[in-house]
């Protein structure tokens, strides 16, 4: 917390706006849109809700295909299943750990041959690092497919002169408790299409028709963000640049501490881009370290330090069994490699140098 959240919360109480309406909701939408560099935003209950609304607005329905990054948290793809659409999963590539333009191009080419182009492509910016958005956006434009940029983990990151989350037809953000800024729970859907954002607000408030009585002509959802939660978000957003620097400092200290360890390779930063380093992630090569990734996690747990593997790719999840998957190369899935060797270290913005040194020394003792 920044210490300023309470003033926005008090203002909501003083004005008696507690519901999913009010000055904080309006202010948070405006300020987030300005920060990201887009024209319009709708504050919602979660990043998952934002993705779901994006798919509804694109009229995704049963039988439609939606392409999605495979190396991501399940929330990126669950809304595809909400609409009974067909997920097609795309591998990552080594320079960003995000969606491979080459794999996406193969998938789009095949889809066009079969006359089943997807309604949307969901590109995830993993662990705060932007995907190769120009190449991916150019491909989507070439095939006339809408791009949804899942920037849930990458708020504050840059790609060239633009902010992460500003490249898609829709941008998606999350303010869950583990994100770089938090409202405890919440999300945002952004777009330069004002009509789409207005429709998103309509759908997210139970799709109530403009009638004196309660009338509903289409399915709606209870997806709006409360005025209190939005107040927390406004204070948090004021500190976003500081939070990004804090996370980058944590990453830099780990990188420096382990620079002599052969077999540790940290998540790269794409040339011309600036990651927010939401999590410090690396790959552990056991043939060089003589220690398995899982052994490191278990050793840290013994000292009450939590570390985790990278996300389990969706194409390996029971939920998506049978889904079509396009690997980086025909005989090489980079996501599988990341899952087998990837490690996420404690990376909180408020980590002290002493706390981080305890993590570093625990790992060095094991090695």
pLDDT classification of 363: cutoffs 50, 70, 90? very high
pLDDT classification of 334: cutoffs 50, 70, 90? very high
pLDDT higher than threshold 90 for residue 18: no
- As a whole number, the mean pLDDT across the chain is 96
Burial class (CB in 10 A: 0-12, 13-18, 19+), 177: exposed
pLDDT per position as a tens digit, 202-215: 999 998 988 888 99
pLDDT per position as a tens digit, 114-169: 999 999 999 999 999 999 999 999 999 999 999 999 999 999 999 999 999 999 99
By mean pLDDT, which of 19-23, 107-111, 145-149, 216-220 is the weakest?
19-23
pLDDT of residue 316: 98
What predicted TM-score, i.e. pTM, was given to this entire model?
0.95
pLDDT of residue 211: 85
pLDDT classification of 19: cutoffs 50, 70, 90? confident
pLDDT classification of 228: cutoffs 50, 70, 90? very high
pLDDT classification of 229: cutoffs 50, 70, 90? very high
Beta strands in 210-254 (DSSP E): none
d(CA 99, CA 78): 18
Residues carrying CATH 3.90.1150.10, the chain: 241-366
Q: Are 76 and 315 in contact (CB under 8 A)?
A: no
For residue 84, indicate whether it is catalytic.
no
CATH tag for 241-366 (out of 3.90.1150.10, 2.60.120.620, 3.30.300.30, 3.30.365.10):
3.90.1150.10
pLDDT of residue 187: 97
d(CA 313, CA 148): 19
Architecture of domain 5-240: 3-Layer(aba) Sandwich (3.40)
Token look-up 């939606």 returns 66
pLDDT of residue 34: 98
Q: How wide is the angle at C-alpha 274 spanned by C-alphas 98 and 336, nearest 5°?
A: 20
Q: What percent of the chain has pLDDT above 90?
A: 95
Q: C-alpha distances in angstroms, 323 versus 81, 123, 152, 184, 205?
A: 11, 17, 24, 33, 33
Q: Are 270 and 129 in contact (CB under 8 A)?
A: yes
- What six digits make up the tokens of 89? 């999963």
Query: How big, in percent rounded to 5, are the helix, strand and coil portions of the chain?
Result: 40, 20, 40
According to DSSP, the β-strands at 342-345 and 308-309 are antiparallel
pLDDT higher than threshold 90 for residue 220: yes
pLDDT of residue 231: 96
**Which of 119, 163, 179, 312 does the annotation list as catalytic?**
179
**Whole-angstrom distance between the N-terminal and C-terminal Cα of the chain?**
36
Residues carrying CATH 3.40.640.10, the chain: 5-240
Question: Closest by alpha carbon to 86, among 316, 320, 327, 311?
Answer: 320
pLDDT per position as a tens digit, 44-86: 999 999 999 999 999 999 999 999 999 999 999 999 999 999 9
Token look-up 């790959």 returns 283
pLDDT per position as a tens digit, 279-328: 999 999 999 999 999 999 999 999 999 999 999 999 999 999 999 999 99
């Amino acid at each position: 917390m920044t210490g300023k959240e309470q003033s926005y919360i008090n203002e909501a109480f003083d004005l008696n706006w507690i519901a999913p309406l009010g000055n904080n909701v309006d202010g948070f939408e405006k300020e987030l849109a300005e920060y990201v560099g887009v024209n319009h935003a709708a504050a919602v209950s979660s990043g998952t809700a934002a993705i779901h609304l994006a798919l509804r607005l694109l009229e995704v329905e049963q039988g439609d295909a939606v392409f999605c990054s495979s190396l991501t948290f399940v929330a990126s793809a669950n809304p595809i299943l909400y609409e009974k659409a067909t997920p097609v999963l795309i591998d990552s590539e080594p320079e960003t750990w995000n969606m491979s333009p080459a794999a996406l191009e193969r998938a789009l080419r095949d889809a066009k041959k079969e006359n089943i182009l997807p309604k949307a492509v969901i590109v995830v910016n993993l662990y705060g690092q932007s995907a190769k958005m120009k190449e991916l956006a150019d491909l989507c434009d070439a095939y006339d497919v809408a791009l949804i940029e899942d920037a849930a983990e990458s708020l504050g990151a840059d790609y060239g002169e633009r902010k992460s989350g500003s490249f898609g037809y829709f941008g998606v953000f999350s303010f869950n408790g583990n994100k770089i800024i938090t409202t405890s729970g919440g999300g945002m859907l952004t777009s330069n299409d004002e009509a789409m954002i207005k429709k998103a607000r309509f759908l997210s408030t139970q799709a109530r028709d403009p009638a004196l009585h309660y009338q509903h002509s289409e399915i709606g959802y209870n997806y709006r963000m409360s005025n209190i939660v939005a107040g927390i978000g406004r204070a948090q957003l004021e500190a976003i640049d500081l939070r990004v620097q804090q996370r980058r400092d944590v990453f830099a200290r780990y990188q420096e501490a382990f620079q002599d360890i052969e077999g540790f390779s940290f998540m790269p930063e794409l040339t011309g881009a600036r990651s927010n380093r939401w999590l410090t992630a690396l790959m552990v090569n056991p043939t060089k370290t003589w220690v398995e990734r899982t052994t490191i996690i278990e050793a840290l747990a013994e000292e009450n330090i939590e570390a985790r593997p990278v996300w389990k790719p969706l194409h390996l999840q029971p939920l998506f069994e049978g889904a079509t998957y396009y690997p980086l190369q025909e005989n090489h899935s980079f996501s599988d490699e990341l899952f087998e060797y990837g490690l996420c270290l404690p990376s909180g913005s408020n980590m002290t140098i002493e706390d981080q040194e305890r993590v570093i020394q625990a790992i060095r003792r094991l090695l």
